[in-house]
Structure 1
């Protein structure tokens, strides 16, 4: 996740890079996202650190107007994780899709939903 430079890269760049990186190491993330971590474990500490980084990127995205000022960031984090999970479990037709292309799809859906574009 740190490779996406969540604290320093522009929020849209960070969100895309983090998403692409997660999709590149999808085996580990599929497992990590599907099981709750035992309280106090190293995995739980990692989950908490990832959640803090995710919310920090979302706060920066909100400050730049990419996310509505009234948006619930904890809810958005859950939605983002759900989109990642669906992409990781994926459609067999997407098996060979480039992680950057999938990341663009995830980020676009996350920020704009499925509605028509203006």
Structure 2
């Protein structure tokens, strides 16, 4: 059967419309978390019936957004090379990736269901490697991960003129995002028992 068969075209059309719906949902729900499927359909430029065909309920749509973000978290873990890179460097790179995702998925990052067991396992592996490398002393990777995620949200929401950011070396360049990344990595490592000297050496070495 040829590559332009009707069934292939139908599947391609369905994939495109699904992508449009998810993109529109991310934008609309970031502005109004209670927005209806009808409003999302309007933002996507699609008939409401099309949205309801793809997603039978609001729950189904939220599950799809969480699933999409989970896949990107997993890709981020791979890009950060949490299994093989020097662990502090991997933590810094992963933090850069997550900050980017928080900008592009402002609604979905609030969905805890995006943190699937596979994502949590990847984070726990990174913190176990940080402990084994002597960058931190806390023994429980799951606790380290919870501390990191809590700090991530707090640091991300800091205003640009926060004194906490002024203490970051990256603040001298005027790069607010890089200053936040540096602050988060240093704070997380310090909170988990890493020495200041070891953290500075790992980040600057």
TM bucket normalised to smaller: 0.7 to 0.9
Following TM superposition, the consecutive aligned residue runs of length 4 or more in structure 1 with deviations greater than 4 angstroms are: none
How far is the alpha carbon of 1:92 from its aligned partner?
4.7
- 1:61 is displaced (CA, Å) by 0.7
**Are 1:106 and 2:184 an aligned pair?**
yes
The structure number with the bigger radius of gyration is 2
What TM-score do the two structures reach when normalised by structure 1?
A: 0.74
Partners of 1:91 and 1:98 lie apart in 2 by 9
Larger % of helix: which?
2
The TM-score normalised by the length of structure 2 is 0.45
Which residue in the other structure is 1:77 paired with?
145
Q: In 1, Cα distance between the equivalents of 2:158 and 2:108?
A: 16
- The alignment yields a C-alpha RMSD, in angstroms, of 2.5
> In structure 1, what is the equivalent of residue 133 of structure 2?
64
Q: Which structure has the higher relative contact order (CA within 8 Å, separation 6+)?
A: 1
Secondary structure at 1:25 match in 2: helix
Aligned residue among 150, 154, 161 for 1:93: 161
Pairwise CA distance, 1:81: 0.4
Q: Give the match's secondary structure for 2:136.
A: coil
Distance in 2 (CA, whole Å) between partners of 1:71 and 1:14 is 19
* Contact 1:24-1:99 at 8 Å conserved across structures: no
8 Å CA contact retained: 2:102, 2:109: no
